[in-house]
Structure 1
Amino acid sequence: MTTRSNGRRLAALRTFFSFTAGSGLTGEDLLINIAGPKIGQALPKALSIAEVDALLTLPAGTTPLILRNHAMLHLLYATGIRVSELVGLPTNSCNLTSCHLRILGKGGKERMVPFNETTRDTIEEYLQRARQLILKGRQSPVLFVSNRGRAMSRGRFWQIIKEWAKAAGISATVSPHMLRHSFATHLLAGGADLRAVQMMLGHSDIATTQIYTHVDGSRLKSIHQRFHPRG
């Protein structure tokens, strides 16, 4: 059993014994002094730049759904937004003139996230050639619509990204969050400012963003060799 599973079971038992003590069924809370297992913070998994290129340049076709999926993948990697923010993105939150998104993130915090012209082109192609065909006369406030004319579920987009990754020859199990990890890792590896990446990701604590500075092993080795006196 994993450490996280043990932690969840202990939390459930704590709730139970706290209830029995509070209701007088037991004399005291039997678990009050038992510490939970320490859970280490695993490093996020990211794709290589070559793998991302293979995913985004996959010659999949020009059907409406393919154009939609292509635009979604481009936007996810270009901005690093959460999958929930992607599938629920309102059309009026995407400014194609200035190439930025207005994202309402966790806790109702708003942030502006830029994207590149290549991504803008994929979104424009989707809007011009695919969105209305998918909607079939229906109306929807979200940018990326499903066959039912409403927002796509996170689970369905997870399936799509796995299918595209397999077609691109990527052996790793790719999730939407892995593209978010890749966005942050590649920006920091290229020398991006940590605070700027924090703002784009919507992290309230910069310590969360700092995790990505430990992912690129080759960059860490280069820094060590450059600055350590015995490097």
Structure 2
Amino acid sequence: MKQLLDDFLKQLALTRSGSQATQQAYRHDITQFIDYCVNEGVSSLQDVDTYVMRGFIASLKSGKKAISNRSLARKFAALRSFYKYLLLHDHVTINPFASLKTPKKANHLPAFLMINEIRDLLNSISKDGEAAVRDRVMIELMYACGLRVSETAGLTIHQIDFANRLLRITGKGRKERLVPFYPSIGKQLKNYIDVYRPMLLKQKKHSFVFVNLRGDKLTERGVQDILKRRALSAGLNQILHPHMLRHSFATHLLDNGADLRTVQELLGHQNLSTTQIYTHISVDRLKQVYRDAFEKEGEKK
């Protein structure tokens, strides 16, 4: 069974239909299901029926380590995709997860940084030294273009159009989008690529924009580590996750009058409903501004 899982993950990697993080999550979730099947005496994935499937779901929901609907939805997506692959390659004759209803996810408002926090973060990074210049440019580009961590780590020089100030990004599901960048970040990016990137490359040859100290492509984990370290140095009162810069990008666009469809296009969201969560943040902030203004007015009276 685990050989079929390996084959499935290789197919995912070849088609690039999922980021490294997605592939790791799928491996974990499907392995968990396979282990459950083995413990229950199910020797073949063909033998999985509704009874086995519901038993697995019950095991996830019970005990002290009961998982959230969000995690459950991810596991369902992984298993549905895995069985679709098995069905396509004649390893099974039915997909027991095809008709399974996905549990509703709780709408947690995404965390984001205020504009002054973004400014403080960037200003805390030295403008000298190849690693510092790389970090500053990378963080500002992630914020200015709303990039995912996988898109940042995978960015190549060929995706940058300096003449028109555009990035050509291939996001989730191989969906392509064009994202503009402002002149000042364009100058910083060009300077990094022309002057500092060659120092980091150490004579290695590849087209990835962001390079680690060994001259290799900066990994997604490497990007995450840099953000955490730089946020700590800047004195931010929270751990900085890559998606927080993307959330900040979307929130600040809406705060400054961008329409939802434009933000959807810039983020590369397939469904508008995914983008709509940011409107809740902006409405909450409008209410806070309103309250602050009228409370101060009331105090004067």
Instruction: Specify the TM-score bucket, using the shorter chain as the normaliser.
Output: 0.7 to 0.9
AA aligned to 1:78 is A
Separation in 1, partners of 2:46, 2:166 = 55
Aligned partner of 1:161 in structure 2 is 227
Of residues 29-38 and 73-82 in structure 1, the stretch that sits farther from structure 2 once superposed is: 29-38
Structure 1 spans left out of the alignment, 5+ residues = 1-7, 225-231
**Alignment map for 1:84-99 (pairs within 5 Å):** 84-99=150-165
Aligned residues: 215
Cα offsets for 1:67-121 (capped at 9, x unmatched):
1111101100000011100111010101122111000111111110011112112
User: Retained in 2: the 8 A contact 1:104–1:110?
Assistant: yes
User: Structure 1 residue 58: deviation in Å?
Assistant: 2.0
Separation in 2, partners of 1:222, 1:18 = 60
Cα offsets for 1:15-64 (capped at 9, x unmatched):
747958998899x7176498876441211100111101111222424101
More helix by share: 2
Aligned partner of 1:41 in structure 2 is 107
User: Retained in 2: the 8 A contact 1:77–1:183?
Assistant: yes
Of residues 28-37 and 85-94 in structure 1, the stretch that sits farther from structure 2 once superposed is: 28-37
Residue 79 of structure 1, aligned match among 139, 145, 149: 145
Separation in 1, partners of 2:263, 2:243 = 16
Aligned partner of 1:218 in structure 2 is 285
Residue 247 of structure 2, aligned match among 181, 198, 204: 181
SS at match of 1:130: helix
**Alignment map for 1:147-158 (pairs within 5 Å):** 147-158=213-224
Calculate percent identity across the aligned residue pairs: 36
Separation in 2, partners of 1:82, 1:157 = 11
Query: Is residue 2:165 matched to residue 1:115?
Result: no
- In structure 2, relative to structure 1, the CA distance for the partners of 1:22 and 1:59 (3 Å cut) is closer
Query: Is residue 2:261 matched to residue 1:195?
Result: yes
**Structure 1: 4+ residue segments shifted above 3 A:** 15-26, 30-39, 220-224
AA aligned to 2:286 is R
AA aligned to 1:219 is L
AA aligned to 1:201 is L
Structure 2 spans left out of the alignment, 5+ residues = 1-28, 62-67, 70-104, 292-301
- In structure 2, relative to structure 1, the CA distance for the partners of 1:192 and 1:19 (3 Å cut) is farther
TM-score (norm 2): 0.63
SS at match of 1:113: strand
Aligned partner of 1:228 in structure 2 is none
- In structure 2, relative to structure 1, the CA distance for the partners of 1:179 and 1:22 (3 Å cut) is closer
Query: Is residue 2:51 matched to residue 1:29?
Result: yes
Separation in 1, partners of 2:190, 2:230 = 21
